[in-house]
Structure 1
Amino acid sequence: MEQVFNFDNELSGKIALVTGGTKGAGKAIAERLLNAGATVIVTARNAPAQIHEKLHFIAADLSQSAGTQKVISEVFQNFGRLDILINNLGGSGTPGGGFAVLSDEDWESTIHTNLLAPIRLDRGFLPQMIERRNGVIIHIASIQARLPLYDATLPYAAAKAGLVNYSKNLSNEVASKGVRVLTVSPGWIQTDGSAGMMQEIAARTGITVEEAIQQVMNSLGGIPFGRPAQPEEVAELAGFLVSPRASYLTGTEFIIDGGTIPTI
């Protein structure tokens, strides 16, 4: 039987949560799902200065167990269920310099944000997805799970590697129960934050912003596509993966890096 999809409104009636959904790739993903007809909830520690009027915002620190429980409780209280969970929150605030400069607190805070936060949210939302035999979970990881930068982001890379492994194992457990679990691993994304970083590097080292961008690409071993990804490009992949068009996809990691990873 041939399936017919409405690409313009294919997520109509779906309720989605995007963590870290107020800036960068998270913001682009939230708006992509909204444009496809979903009701979209976003989280961040603080409310942004501007946010799309149709997005529902929950303020929460997901690096803490209490923050994840707050989100779970408010979603169920206000919406009754969740159909799509995009675990996008992540980042690294640890100092560079390799293993010797990293404290227990550096490791713990990074693992709580990048690994334990999605695990806690999955644990909170999965039971009702399984009960309804319907749901999609996307874990936004990173190519650093495969291509770590030990001098700059050692805990972040380790946490994302754990997230990729956990995501695969979770998919094996819940695929037969009607829930799809997938991983999206971006390379370098050109966000406002990364643009500010390039300006800082340029000012500190006396080079141009363009030279700073090339310097970072060189540190990754080069990006064959010649530039970082745009947030909207990552969002388009996520939008497809949560749609009915991807109904047979689960347990897979999708790398979107412009060809950065040098292996097959």
Structure 2
Amino acid sequence: MFAPQGPTFRELAVQALSSVERGYDLLAPKFDHTPFRTPDAILAPVSRALRRLGPFDSGLDLCCGTGAGMDVLREVCRERVTGVDLSAGMLAEGRARAGVTAGAPSAAWVRADARALPFGPVFDLAVSFGAFGHFLPRERPGLFAQVYSVLRPGGRFAFPIGAPARPGSPGYWALLGFDAAMRVRNALWRPRFVMYYRTFRLTNVCTELTRTGFDVRLQDLPELGRRPDGSPRCRLVVATRPA
């Protein structure tokens, strides 16, 4: 499906009936040939916005997968970048794809649960792309507290967030149908596979980040266009741990 090099329908079905960790282990070799990888059209504007905020010394890619966000960190960090993910398969693919580039910051790939990060406050920047649907709303305060704990004072946590699909639009019904299917699947099948697209809402997320202690600012990403009412299609959330 998706591309000749991508997973087959059967492979996707097996993944969907696995746990999140096992599912991504299975998908890892073909993940970059699916639409689940964050596209370069989003990564590039985020990278440009972060360059205006930086430079940074050390960066963390939360739920890094095969390393799309690691590429962004390499552009804005001077010393070292770290990717953390629960899936050993995704980490192996990312490590193999990245290789070693002269003059680039050193890179580490760490298998860990984002809800229990094995680091102290050593990062100047944390990013994440497309992973928040794997966390239930009740888990987000703990997740944000973990990110806060690994940032140095003045460190930033940044991620893009798209505007919600207009009610009644094809995108709205597609996301609603996907989330409904996942809820039915998780009610009937174990282990669960948590992936809900409609639970990560900007207003709620900003409130939770503020309660964690972050100073939250929003930046438009005009390269990604505007909605008919003039509002941006995508914003960059920049949450700063106070100095």
Q: Give the TM-score taking structure 2 as reference length.
A: 0.47
Give the strand-richer structure, 1 or 2.
2
Q: Give the TM-score taking structure 1 as reference length.
A: 0.44
Q: Which of these two proteins has the greater Rg computed from alpha carbons?
A: 1
